[in-house]
Structure 1
Amino acid sequence: MIIVHHLNNSRSQRVLWLLEELGIEYEIKFYQRDPKTMLAPESLRQVHPLGKSPVITDADFAIAESGAIIQYLVDRYGSGHLVPTSGTPEHLRYTYWLHYAEGSAMPLLVMQLVLNNFGAGDSSAISGFVAPQIKLHFDYIESELGKSTWFAGEEFTAADIQMSFPLELIAMHPKEVESRPKLKEFIDHIHERPAYKRALERGSKYDVSFQ
């Protein structure tokens, strides 16, 4: 049985959503962030040495990192669902966005979060580098979503699940969404999916506004 070690208000919500899309049975072990630091509890270190979320256990394996978890679940349990056919342009786009979410989009958003939380919100680091880079990336995402309904093409894939977290973070800022109608349309589409709603019900409260 797959166990999702689920930290509240975290990327692990994507894992619950993927499992619901695939129709796979799983259990949830809940963890709560420290109310002051917003960090994961030490008990997660008993599952994985870094003590981070998301992480799943399946038989004798403990698997961390969103992209690795998604790839593992799709490869082992997906039976070809939620991934384009190998060798197609759609598969290349799928692979790109699966890695882009955490490799390019999230580092900038986390950098902004850290600088803001440590009192550097008006620093030249944000105004001179972080903010312009975030704008560049989300204008790019808006442009790419103008080419197809979903990130890899006209079919929904696991790459869309992976991309949901950074887009939901940026969607917390209404002005950013108003100027990017395709991004808003994507957010609306994922929120309408029955599996997304089921994952919310099982994972309990999900709020990324603290980021």
Structure 2
Amino acid sequence: MIKLHHLNASRSIRILWLLEEIGQPYELIIYRRDATTHLAPQSLKTIHPLGKSPVIELDGKVIAESGAIVELLIKKFAPQLAPDELSAEYSDYLQWLHFAESSAMLPFLLKVFNQYESKCGTSLKFLDSYAEIEFVKVFAYLNDHLDGKTFLVGERLTGADFMLGFVVQSALQMLKCDSKYPHIKSYIENLESLSSYQKAMRIEASE
């Protein structure tokens, strides 16, 4: 059976949602962030040296990195959530699958960290400007891509949506910029309407 080591308010929600969509039996081991530092507990380091989540145990192996976990679980248990590797859509799928942790995540995190630093009185120069330019570039590009679309690739749910949903929902919510990106907002609302997503959110809320 799959074991998911799940940290609240983390990228691990991607895997929890994916497992609910797949319908594959799994064991959920829950970890809570430290109330003061908001960091993961030290107990996660007994599972993987990085002490981060998500981590799964599958077939006697401990596997980290949400992108790798998504690809592995889909290939093994839910090939319908990815285009055929010989199809024209497959390269688009791979690009959007990895877009979440490459192009999209960095400017989002920089903007969030910059907000924290500014509140503490730190004078930001290069990083503040860089984060804003990159964020607008990346999210405007994504917003344009999603114009008239329900999902990222081929008008059906794929692994790319599991990867990107967490990033864009967190970004629009934390940075309060949903009015600037209406197509991303509609995309998020569609993902939130899925029963597997709602089930994962209920599990997350009940931890």
TM-score where L is the length of structure 2 = 0.92
Match of residue 23 from structure 2: 23
Change (3 A) 1:19 1:121: farther
1:69, distance to aligned residue in structure 2 (A):
0.4
Following superposition of structure 1 onto structure 2, how do residues 149-164 of structure 1 map, counting pairs within 5 Å?
149-164=150-165
Give the unaligned 5+ runs of structure 2. Answer: none
Match of residue 55 from structure 2: 55
Between 183-192 and 57-66, the greater mean CA deviation after superposition: 57-66
Match of residue 202 from structure 2: 201
Would the aligned equivalents of 1:8 and 1:205 in 2 still touch at CA under 8 Å? no
Distance 1:140 1:121 in 2: 30
Asked if 1:135 is matched to 2:130, the reply is no
1:125, distance to aligned residue in structure 2 (A):
2.9
Following superposition of structure 1 onto structure 2, how do residues 32-47 of structure 1 map, counting pairs within 5 Å?
32-47=32-47
Following superposition of structure 1 onto structure 2, how do residues 60-209 of structure 1 map, counting pairs within 5 Å?
60-78=60-78, 80-118=79-117, 119=120, 123-146=124-147, 148-173=149-174, 176-204=177-205
Would the aligned equivalents of 1:4 and 1:26 in 2 still touch at CA under 8 Å? yes
The aligned amino acid for 1:107 is: L
Distance 1:41 1:94 in 2: 34
Change (3 A) 1:10 1:47: same
Would the aligned equivalents of 2:81 and 2:157 in 1 still touch at CA under 8 Å? yes
TM-score where L is the length of structure 1 = 0.90
SS of equivalent residue, structure 2 residue 153: coil
CA offset digits 1:57-107 (Å, max 9, x no partner): 1131111111000011011111x2110121223211110111110012112
Would the aligned equivalents of 2:2 and 2:58 in 1 still touch at CA under 8 Å? yes
Change (3 A) 1:50 1:175: closer
SS of equivalent residue, structure 2 residue 3: strand
Would the aligned equivalents of 2:8 and 2:32 in 1 still touch at CA under 8 Å? yes
Change (3 A) 1:173 1:53: closer
Distance 2:153 2:62 in 1: 28
Distance 1:151 1:121 in 2: 38
| Number of residue equivalences | 205
1:176, distance to aligned residue in structure 2 (A):
1.8
Match of residue 209 from structure 1: none
RMSD: 1.8
CA offset digits 1:152-190 (Å, max 9, x no partner): 121111110100111011221575211221111111101
